[in-house]
Amino acid sequence: MKKSIASAVVILSVMFLVAGLAVAYEPDEHDLGGRTVTFAGHNMHYHEMMPEGSPTWDRVKAAEEQHNFSLELRFIDGNSVLESVVAAGLAGDDTIDLVQLSLRDYVALATQGALVPLGDILGDYWENLPPAHQGRDGARELFTVGGEVYAVPIYFGSYQDIMLIAWNPVLFEDAGLPSLYDLINAGEWTWEKAREIGAQLTRDTDGDGAIDQYGFAGMFPSHSMSNTLLATLATNNVTLTKEVEGKTVVAIDDGGRASAILNIVRQIAFEDGSVHPDPWNFDNFKNGKVAMFFAPLWSLYHTKNENFPQGIAFLPKGPDADDYTVGIANTSLMAVPVTTNEDPKAVIDLWTAIHPPELIDGDVDFRLSLSEDEEGFYIMLQAVTGYSLLSPYVGILNEQNFFSHMWDAVTGAVSPAEAIAAMSPMIQARLDDLLGQ
CB proximity list for 28: less than 8 A, separation 6 or greater = 345, 346, 349
User: For residues 223, 226, 232 and 234, what is the CA-based torsion angle, rounded to 10 degrees?
Assistant: -170
Q: Rg (Cα) of the chain, in Å, rounded?
A: 23
CB proximity list for 382: less than 8 A, separation 6 or greater = 326
Report residue 306 CA to chain centroid gap: 28
Digit-coded pLDDT (tens) for 212-241: 999 999 987 766 777 788 899 999 999 999
- Report yes or no: 357 and 130 within 8 Å, Cβ to Cβ: yes
- Report yes or no: 428 and 282 within 8 Å, Cβ to Cβ: no
- Report yes or no: 65 and 72 within 8 Å, Cβ to Cβ: no
Neighbouring-strand partners of residue 250: 241
Digit-coded pLDDT (tens) for 198-207: 999 999 999 9
Digit-coded pLDDT (tens) for 96-106: 999 999 888 89
Is CATH 3.40.50.80 the right assignment for the domain spanning 163-325+398-435? Answer: no
State residue 222's pLDDT score.
Answer: 65
Q: How many residues does the chain have?
A: 437
Report the 3 state secondary structure along the chain. CCCCHHHHHHHHHHHHHHHHHCCCCCCCCCCCCCEEEEEEECCCCHHHHCCCCCHHHHHHHHHHHHHCEEEEEEECCHHHHHHHHHHHHHHCCCCCCEEEEEHHHHHHHHHCCCECCCCCCCHHHCCCCCHHHHCCCCHHHHCEECCEECEEECCCCHHHHCEEEEECHHHHHHCCCCCHHHHHHCCCCEHHHHHHHHHHCCECCCCCCCCCEEEEECCCCCCCHHHHHHHHHHCCCCCCEEEECCEEEECCCHHHHHHHHHHHHHHHHHHCCCECCCCCCHHHHHCCCEEEEEEEHHHHHHHCCCCCCCEEECCCECCCCCCCCCEECCCEEEECECCCCCCHHHHHHHHHHHCCHHHHHHHHHHHHHCCCCHHHHHHHHHHHHHCEECCHHHHHCCHHHHHHHHHHHHHCCCCHHHHHHHHHHHHHHHHHHHHCC
298 CB burial (10 A radius; 0-12, 13-18, 19+):
middle
State residue 90's pLDDT score.
Answer: 79
State residue 15's pLDDT score.
Answer: 47
178 CB burial (10 A radius; 0-12, 13-18, 19+):
middle
- Report yes or no: 164 and 326 within 8 Å, Cβ to Cβ: yes
Closest residue by Cα to residue 220 from 260, 280, 149: 280
Closest residue by Cα to residue 193 from 176, 209, 177: 177
Digit-coded pLDDT (tens) for 317-327: 999 999 999 98
Digit-coded pLDDT (tens) for 271-293: 999 999 998 899 999 999 999 99
Closest residue by Cα to residue 435 from 150, 149, 147: 147
More confident residue, 398 or 10: 398
Taking all residues of the chain, what is their mean pLDDT, rounded to a whole number? 89
pLDDT of 376 above 80: yes
* Cα-based distances in Å from 415 to 123, 253, 420: 48, 12, 9
- Report yes or no: 27 and 86 within 8 Å, Cβ to Cβ: no
CB proximity list for 306: less than 8 A, separation 6 or greater = none
Identify residue 162 by its one-letter amino acid code.
Answer: I
CA distance 143 to 125: 14
pTM of the predicted model as reported, rounded to 2 decimal places: 0.89
CATH topology agreement for domains 23-159+331-369 and 163-325+398-435: yes
Confidence band, pLDDT 50/70/90 cuts, at residue 19: very low
Phi, psi for residue 167 in degrees, rounded to 5: -135, 155
Digit-coded pLDDT (tens) for 400-424: 999 999 999 999 999 999 999 999 9
What sign results for the dihedral spanned by CA atoms 104, 109, 111, 112?
A: positive
pLDDT of 131 above 60: yes
- Report yes or no: 261 and 236 within 8 Å, Cβ to Cβ: yes
Is CATH 3.40.190.10 the right assignment for the domain spanning 23-159+331-369? Answer: yes
Identify residue 401 by its one-letter amino acid code.
Answer: N
Q: Label residue 388 left, alpha or beta by phi (over 0 means left) and psi (-120 to 50 means alpha).
A: beta
State residue 142's pLDDT score.
Answer: 87
Neighbouring-strand partners of residue 241: 250
Segments making up each domain of the chain, as ranges: 23-159+331-369, 163-325+398-435
